Amino acid sequence: MPMAMIVTRNVENRYRGFLTSVMLEVAPGVYVAPDLSKGVRTRVWNVLTDWWETLRTGSIVMIWRDTQAVGNLRIETLGEPPKEIVDADGVLLVKRR
């Protein structure tokens, strides 16, 4: 089960309460889980997506280890331009789509 991290900015308090029920808040708006399963990660992201589509405030970024992705990382965003991780001659970069 890979580690996952979620970073929130300018979101409603409901996000904080929900995320602290499944992850550790290591800094304001930064949540980590050392062994979040794919199923739990997917359910958490679905809840965050539903809330964000209703409220349309703030931004959320989720990153987790994925051995099938470039750099072994996958990234999802809400409220920010979509991003992807790219390999530029061995250097990992974040590119806006």
Q: At a CB cut-off of 8 Å and minimum separation 6, what does 39 contact?
A: none
Q: What is the mean pLDDT of residues 6-18?
A: 96
* Rounded Cα gap, residues 8 and 42, in angstroms: 17
Bridge partner residues of 30 (DSSP): 7, 27
pLDDT digits (tens, 9 = 90+) for 23-78: 999 999 999 999 999 999 999 999 999 999 999 999 999 999 999 989 889 999 99
Q: What is the mean pLDDT of residues 3-16?
A: 96
Residue 40 identity: V
What's the CATH fold of domain 4-96? Answer: Alpha-Beta Plaits (3.30.70)
What are the domain boundaries of the chain?
Answer: 4-96
**1: pLDDT strictly greater than 70:** no
Query: CA 19 from chain center: how many Å?
Result: 11
pTM score, whole prediction: 0.89
